[in-house]
Structure 1
Amino acid sequence: MKLLIISDTHQDTKTMEEVIQHHHEVDTIIHCGDSELDFSYFADKPIYVVRGNCDFDLQFPEEHVFKVGDEIVYVTHGHKHRVKSTLMPLSYRAQELNASIVCFGHSHLIGAEINKGILFVNPGSLHKPRGRKEKSYAIVEKHKDGWNVFFYSSEHIIIENIIFKF
């Protein structure tokens, strides 16, 4: 299983489209909100998109929950879960949904961790990163012995790789 996770693109369709085209091998594409685009922009694209605090089109859902293989994926922007200060509310929601992967954005900071057996991934921002200079996105791969989370720059160079073993 391979997921492409992007977030906080803030109308930068050029960079977003380039990243999506570069990773045609993924099983699922996820946008964690703040695209600042109309819902219709994504109508013909195979991508799960949620509404962020800068998205005003109410057709975007607040959250998505779906299965990829055996994994339950929960996608939200994170602003309503206070992700800039703690992952606790997001963790509670993930447990309610029995999610095994949580994808979120909002802080524009890359990060990945496992908490209570749930993988949390924030891909950073493809528009205005915080905490580092590179615009970023994430690729998550599940293997029989664990998770690999690769953070890439918008130039498709790996800037960080985190491995979680089962």
Structure 2
Amino acid sequence: MRILIVSDTHKSHVNLEKVLKQTEHIDTLIHLGDVEGREKDIEALVDCPVHMVRGNNDFFSELPREEEFFIGGHHVFITHGHGYYVSMGEERLKLEARGRGADIVMYGHTHVPALTVESDLVTLNPGSIAYPRQQGRRASYILMQVDEVGKADFEVCYI
């Protein structure tokens, strides 16, 4: 199973469209917020399930603030992250994820990619596919692959 994880498109889908063309088949798209009213446009780009949450710039959005679901036996918790003050660190988010029994937590907001693998929790941020802020400012996303026995692997990718 292949999952494309993106965040912080802020109405700019050029790089998302590029990645979707380059990436072979995906089974699920996860968007971690700041779509700015372009939910339907993003959903129309793919022919697979889409999980999308509301970010701090998604004013008047009806998207959920958070979502929990399962992928290949993994309990996934997604949020934009601003409500957990991720700009100051991941501690509150990790505490919440563990309290919910999640073993994978995904967030956006910082526009900086991050991937931390601990024995009980994977914490990841795909960065921004449209407006990156890390050194070098390369647009980023994460590809998650889950094999037939449920083992999940993550790759931070750059455009």
Q: When the two structures are superposed, what TM-score results if normalisation uses the length of structure 1? A: 0.82
**Alignment partners' CA distance in 2, 1:126 and 1:52:** 15
Select the residue among 111, 120, 124 that pairs with 2:127. 124
Quick check: 1:139 aligned with 2:143? Answer: yes
**Alignment partners' CA distance in 1, 2:124 and 2:5:** 8
**Alignment partners' CA distance in 2, 1:60 and 1:42:** 13
CA deviation vs aligned residue, 1:63-99 (integer Å, no higher than 9, x gap): 1111111111111000000111121111121112211
Alignment of 1:8-157 (within 5 A): 8-42=8-42, 46-115=49-118, 117-132=120-135, 133-142=137-146, 147-154=152-159
Given that residues 2 and 27 in structure 1 are in contact (C-alpha distance below 8 angstroms), is that contact kept between their aligned partners in structure 2? yes
More off after superposition, 78-87 vs 88-97: 88-97
Instruction: Say which SS state the counterpart of residue 41 (structure 2) adopts.
Output: helix
- Return 5+ residue gaps in structure 2 as ranges: none
Given that residues 139 and 150 in structure 1 are in contact (C-alpha distance below 8 angstroms), is that contact kept between their aligned partners in structure 2? yes
- Counterpart amino acid of residue 66 in structure 1: F
- Return 5+ residue gaps in structure 1 as ranges: 155-166
CA deviation vs aligned residue, 1:29-63 (integer Å, no higher than 9, x gap): 10000111244435555311100001113311001
Higher strand proportion, which one? 1
Q: When the two structures are superposed, what TM-score results if normalisation uses the length of structure 2? A: 0.85
Percent identity of equivalent pairs: 32
Cα distance, 1:112–1:129 mapped onto 2, change above 3 Å = same
RMSD: 2.1
**Alignment partners' CA distance in 1, 2:64 and 2:150:** 33
**Alignment partners' CA distance in 1, 2:132 and 2:39:** 24
